[in-house]
Chain A
Amino acid sequence: MAEHNLFLLLACLPFATSLILLTLSPNARGASTWLSGLSLVAGLAILAGFLPGIREGDVLRASLEWVPSLGMNLAFRLDGFAWLFTTLVLSIGVLVVIYARYYMSAKDSLPRFYALLMAFTGAMQGILISGNVLGMVVFWELTSFMSFLLIGFWHQGAAARDGARTALIITALGGLCLLTAMLMLGHVAGSHDLGVILRSGDAIRAHPWYGAILALFLLGAFTKSAQFPFHFWLPGAMAAPTPVSAFLHSATMVKAGVFLLVRFSPALGGTEAWFFTVTGIGMVTLILGAAVALYRHDLKGLLAYSTISHLGLITALAGIGGPVAILAAIFHICNHAVFKASLFMAAGIIDHETGTRDMRRLSGLFKPMPITATLAIVAAAAMAGVPLLNGFLSKEMFLAEAVYWHNGTWLDNALPYLAIVGSTLSVAYSLRFIATVFFGPQATNLPKTPHEPPAWMRRPVELLVFICLVVGILPALTLGAIVNIAARSVVGPDLAYYKIAIWHGVNAPLMLSLIALAVGTLIYALSAKAIATGPEGPFLLHRIRGQRIYDWLLFRLTWRLPRLALGLVSTESLQPQLRLLVLTALAVAVASLWGGLSFAPELRLHAFNPAFALLWTVGAACAIGAAWQAKYHRFAALVLLGGAGVVTCLTFAWFSSPDLAVTQLLVEVVTTALLLLGLRWLPKRRSEIPEDKLLPAKIRRSRDLVIAVVGGLGIASIAFAVMSRPVVSNVGDWFLGNAYYEGGGTNVVNVILVDFRAFDTFGEIAVLAIVGLTVYALLRRFRPAPESIEAPDQQTMADSPSVDDYLFVPSVIMVWMFPILIMLSGYFFFRGHDLPGGGFAAGVTLAIGFLIQYIASNVRWVEARITVLPIRWMGFGLLGAVTTGMGAWVFGYPFLTAHARYVNIPLVGQVPAATALLFDIGVFATVVGAVVLMLVAIAHQSLRASRRREQEELAARKEAA
C-alpha cells in the first residue's frame, strides 16, 4: 500500500510543485529553484526506493479514479524501462533547474519558468509511467502544450512565438493521430491497459486494421521525435531558452517519440512494414540530420540537427527490433541524453558569456574559458563516438546491429553503408564544433568579453561529462545492469544478459568506427573553409526547406483557403445573412409542417369582443407605422413602438397574466428611455437618401416585403392552429397543483421562477449581469461620431429656455416620485410570491425610480445626491442567489432547493418567508444593478462629451489669451 501511495505521489509531485510555484512572487528566485530542485530530488528518492523491486523484474501498478462514470481511471505502471527513463528525466531535470537558475536573467520570472518546467516534467513522466494508453495520450498532448509554453517563454520575440507554434501544431497533430491509433489498438486488443496491449502483439499484427494503426502510431511517434519529414520543428524550437532546449532535446519531448517506438515494438514491431518504415525513416533522418548539422552556423542549430540525427539512429534501432537492438536503443537514449544535455548547456554558457552563437564569429575560446572548453570537447567527442566515452559504446552497438543483423531485404543489405555515412558525418560536425569554437585565433569582435561562467552554472555540465567518461570507461559497472533490466522489461524475461564492453576484439564494427573517425576528420579538414562561408545546408539541399514548405502549407490552409471559402459561401454584409436566416426559418417551418398543418375540425374559440378588436387595430397600426417610419422619423417610430408595446401589455392583462402585464409595462418604460438616450448619437437624416429612390432599392424593398408578409402569415396561421385546439394537459398542471404545497406561494408564475425552475432564472440573471457589464465595458472606450459631439441644437439656441427651466414643475414631481417608486418596488417585491409582482418587476421599478431622477434634473445634480453602485448591486445579487442556492447543500438537498413557511411578523401579519424569497432578493438586486448600469452608462456619454467640449473650449480660450 505504501508503495502504491508513493507511486501516486511520484506521479502528482511535479504538478503539485508547478501549482505552488505559480503562487510565488516573480522575485522568489532562490525559493523557486530550491522548491523545484527538491521536488525532483524527492521524485528520484521515491524511484530509488523502488529499485530493489524493479531489479527483481516487478511491475509496479497504481490507479487513481478519473472518470468513474465512464470506467476510466488514471492507471500507472512502472517497469524497468519506465524506471530507467523516469530516472533519466528527473536527474537531467535537477541539473537543468540548477543551470537555469544562473542562465535566466533577472528580467525573467523564474517561478513561472519553473512552474512550466515542472508541469512539463510531470507530463513527460506521465507518458513514461502511464498504464493506460489513453492516459498516455493525454500526457502526450500535455507535453505538446507545455513545450509550446516553454519554447515560447520569451514570447516577446517573433522567432520564439513561431517556433513554439510550429512545434505545437506538428506535435499536437501527431498526438491526435496517436490518439486514433490508441483507440484502435484498444479495440483490437480488447482493453486500453498497456500491459494487455503489449501482450497481444500477435492479434494486433494479424488484424486487418494493422496497417492503419501502424501508420497513425508512427505519425505520432515521428512527429514527436522530429523524424524526417517532420524534423523542422526542432530547429525552430531553438528559440527557447537554452535550459529548455537542454531538457526538451536531450532527455524529454523528442525522446517521448523513441520511447513509444521502443515500448510498442513488441506489440507492433517485427513485421516488414515496421522494419521498412521505422528503420528506413530512421536512417534517412540519421544521414540528413548529420549532413545538415555540418553546415549550420548557429551553435544550437548544429546541436539541433545532430539531435535529429541521433534520434534517427535510435529510431533505426527500434525498427530493427531485435533484443540487442532494443538494448542498444535504450542505452543510446541514456547516452545521448547525457552528452546532448551537457552540450546544450555548454552552448548556453558560450552564448551567455560571449553574446553570440554564430560559429562564424566564435573562435579560439579555449584560452578565455579553458574548463568549459574541455568539458564541451569531451561531450562533443562522446557525440562523435570517440572510444572511452559513452557515445562510442552505443554507436558501436548500432554498427554491430547494422552489420550482423539480417532479414535479407535490400534495406538490410544497405544498412552498414548507410550507418557508416551517418557516423562519418557525425564525426565531421562534432569536429567542426570543437575546431571552430575553441581553436584558431581568438575572436576579438564578440559582443561580450568571454570568461568562465559562475561555478554553479558549470557544475551540471561537469557532472554530465563525468558520467560520459565513467560510463564510457566502466560500462558494465555503471549502466550495464539497469539497461539490461530495462531491455528485459521491453522484450520479455527470456533476454540473455548482454554484457556491454569496450573491447570486443578487432572486428567489423570497430573497423567501421575507425574508418568513420578518419574519414570524418578528413572531410572536415578538406571542407572547413567552404562550410564557414557557404550556405546553411549541403549542396542543393539547403534550397529545400521543410520549414518553408510547412509555412506555405499553413498559410494556404489557415489563411488563403478559409478566405476563399468565405468568399464563396458567405458575405461580410449583414442583410443577406439575415435574409438567409429568415428564409431558412421559413423553409424549415414549411418543410416540417407541409401537409401537417391543419385546423381543428371543431374550432374552440372565444366570443368576439369589439374592444379587443379595436385595441389591436391600434396595435397593428402602431406596428406598421413603426416599420414605415423607422428610417426617417426615428422618434415617431419609437413612440409607435411604445404603442405596440402597451397593446401587448394589455393583451397579457386581458388573458389572465397580470405578472406579464406588469413586467411588460415596466420594461416598456425602460426600453423607451434607453432608445431615447441612444437617439442622440445617430446621424441626422432630414433629406431622403437619393439612392433609396432608385430601382434596385425598390426591388429590394418589395422582395423583403414579400418575405415579411409570408413570414407573418405563416406565424399567424400556426398561432391560430394551436390556439383553436383544446389545451393538452402538461407540466403546468403539476405546477398549479403543487405551487402552494411545495413552493409555499400562491402566485404560480413566481413560484416557478424562484423555486421550481430557479436554476433557469439564475442563468437568466447571470445573462443580464453579463450584458450589463458588456454594455458598460463597450461604452468605456466609446468615441462618438464627430458631428454628434456638438451640443444639440435645443441647447445651443441662444433664446431658448434651458431644459431645467421648462421641466421645472415636472422635475419637482419626479423628484417626489422617488420615495413612492421605492415603496412601489418594495410592494411588488413582497407580494410577489402570492400575488402578481416579484423580483423582476420590483427590480425594474426601482431602476425606473433612479432613471426618473436622472431625467428630472441634470446628471451632476443627481450624482451629487445619490450614489448608485450598480456593479455592486449586480455582484451582491448574483452572490446572494448563489449562496441561497448553496444553502440547500448544508441540509443535504440539491442546489437551489427552496424551503417555505409563513412567519408572523408583529403589525405586518403573516408573511411568506421562503428561502425562495432570498433568491428573489438576488434576482431583484441583479435586475436593479444591470438596468441602472446600462441606462447610466449610456446617459453618461452626453456628460463625457460635454466635459470634453468644455475642456476643448477652455484650451482654445487659453491659447487665444
Chain B
Amino acid sequence: MEIILSAAIGILSASGIWLLLRPRSFQVIIGLCLLSYAVNLFIFSMGRLTPGAPPIMPKGGFVDPTLYADPVPQALVLTAIVISFATTALFLVVMIASRGLTGTDHVDGKERSQ
C-alpha cells in the first residue's frame, strides 16, 4: 500500500511540475491543482497510513492514541484544501484578466519571440 501511495504522489507531482513549466496559463493552473493533490497527500501520509481508525473519540474514558489515525496532518490538510481552492480561483481570475488585457494565454502575456 505504501508503495502504491508513494508512486501515486510521485506521479501526481511529476505531472504537476511538468505542467507548471509549460507556457500556457491553463496548463499552469491544472499543474498547480495536481501539485496541490500531491502535496496534500504527502502531508497526509506523514501521519502514516491507518485504515479503519478515524480520529473520532469515545465520549470519556481512557484514550489510547496508537489506536487512531494521526489528526494533526488531517487538520493541516483540511484547511489547505479550502485555501488551494481560493488560490486556484485567484489564479484563474488573473489568468482571464490577463488574457483580456494582452490577448494571449501565454504566461508572460506575450508569445515567445523566436
Q: Distance in Å from the Cβ of A88 to the closest Cβ of chain B? A: 56
In terms of DSSP, what is the predominant structure of the interface of chain A?
Answer: helix
| Residues B96 and A735 in contact, CB atoms below 8 Å apart | no
**How many angstroms between the C-alpha atoms of A771 and B82 in the bound complex?**
12
Q: Tell me the B1-45 residues at the A interface (CB within 8 Å).
A: 1-24, 26-27, 29-31, 33-34, 37-38, 40-42, 44-45
| Residues A722 and B71 in contact, CB atoms below 8 Å apart | no
| Residues A737 and B8 in contact, CB atoms below 8 Å apart | no
| Residues B23 and A575 in contact, CB atoms below 8 Å apart | yes
Contacts of A871 in B (CB 8 A): none
Top 3 A-B pairs ranked by shortest CB distance?
A: A712-B14, A716-B10, A708-B18
Contacts of A840 in B (CB 8 A): 78-79, 82
Contact with B along A836-878 (1 / 0, CB 8 A): 1000100010000000000000000000000000000000000
**How many angstroms between the C-alpha atoms of A660 and B88 in the bound complex?**
18
| Residues B15 and A749 in contact, CB atoms below 8 Å apart | no
**How many angstroms between the C-alpha atoms of A510 and B16 in the bound complex?**
88
Q: List 9 A-B contacts (CB under 8 A).
A: A605-B2, A612-B1, A663-B78, A705-B18, A707-B17, A724-B2, A737-B63, A934-B86, A938-B96
Extra pairs beyond A626-B15, A927-B82 (20, CB < 8 Å): A624-B11, A624-B15, A627-B31, A630-B27, A630-B31, A631-B22, A655-B49, A660-B44, A671-B88, A681-B99, A683-B105, A712-B12, A715-B38, A715-B42, A719-B10, A720-B6, A722-B45, A727-B47, A735-B72, A748-B71
Contact flag A768-B86 (CB < 8 Å), given A648-B37, A671-B33, A732-B71: yes
A8 within 8 A of B: no
Chain B residue at smallest Cβ distance from A843: B82
A170 within 8 A of B: no
Contacts of B74 in A (CB 8 A): 657, 659-660, 749
Contact flag A630-B59 (CB < 8 Å), given A682-B96, A749-B78: no
| Residues B65 and A733 in contact, CB atoms below 8 Å apart | yes
| Residues A784 and B100 in contact, CB atoms below 8 Å apart | yes
Cβ 8 A contact of B5, one of A664, A681, A713, A719: A719
| Residues A656 and B50 in contact, CB atoms below 8 Å apart | yes
| Residues A729 and B65 in contact, CB atoms below 8 Å apart | yes
Contacts of A713 in B (CB 8 A): 10, 14
Chain B residue at smallest Cβ distance from A756: B75
Cβ 8 A contact of B75, one of A683, A715, A722, A749: A749
Please, how many residues of chain B have a CB less than 8 angstroms from a CB on the other chain?
91
Contacts of A606 in B (CB 8 A): 1-2, 49, 51
Please, how many residues of chain A have a CB less than 8 angstroms from a CB on the other chain?
120
Contact flag A711-B49 (CB < 8 Å), given A619-B8, A620-B7, A681-B96: no
Contact flag A707-B21 (CB < 8 Å), given A574-B108, A660-B44, A740-B60: yes
Of A158-166, A198-206, A773-781, the segment with at least 4 beta carbons within 8 Å of chain B is A773-781
**How many angstroms between the C-alpha atoms of A579 and B55 in the bound complex?**
39
A609 within 8 A of B: yes
| Residues A630 and B26 in contact, CB atoms below 8 Å apart | yes
A651 within 8 A of B: yes
Chain A residue at smallest Cβ distance from B23: A575
**How many angstroms between the C-alpha atoms of A603 and B6 in the bound complex?**
14
How many Cβ-Cβ contacts under 8 Å join chain A to chain B? 331
Contacts of B41 in A (CB 8 A): 648, 651
Cβ 8 A contact of A747, one of B17, B55, B83: B55
A746 within 8 A of B: yes
Cβ 8 A contact of B86, one of A739, A746, A782, A930: A930
Contacts of B6 in A (CB 8 A): 716-717, 719-720, 723
**How many angstroms between the C-alpha atoms of A630 and B35 in the bound complex?**
14
Contacts of B63 in A (CB 8 A): 736-737, 740
Q: Distance in Å from the Cβ of B16 to the closest Cβ of chain A? A: 8
| Residues A735 and B71 in contact, CB atoms below 8 Å apart | yes
Contact with A along B59-94 (1 / 0, CB 8 A): 110010100111110110111011111111110111
Of A10-18, A242-250, A386-394, A757-765, the segment with at least 4 beta carbons within 8 Å of chain B is A757-765
Cβ 8 A contact of B44, one of A605, A657, A729, A740: A657
**How many angstroms between the C-alpha atoms of A694 and B93 in the bound complex?**
31
Chain A residue at smallest Cβ distance from B80: A764
Contacts of B93 in A (CB 8 A): 678, 774-775, 778-779, 782, 934, 937-938
| Residues A575 and B65 in contact, CB atoms below 8 Å apart | no
| Residues B86 and A749 in contact, CB atoms below 8 Å apart | no
| Residues A607 and B1 in contact, CB atoms below 8 Å apart | yes
A793 within 8 A of B: no
Contacts of B77 in A (CB 8 A): 657, 660
Q: Distance in Å from the Cβ of A928 to the closest Cβ of chain B? A: 12
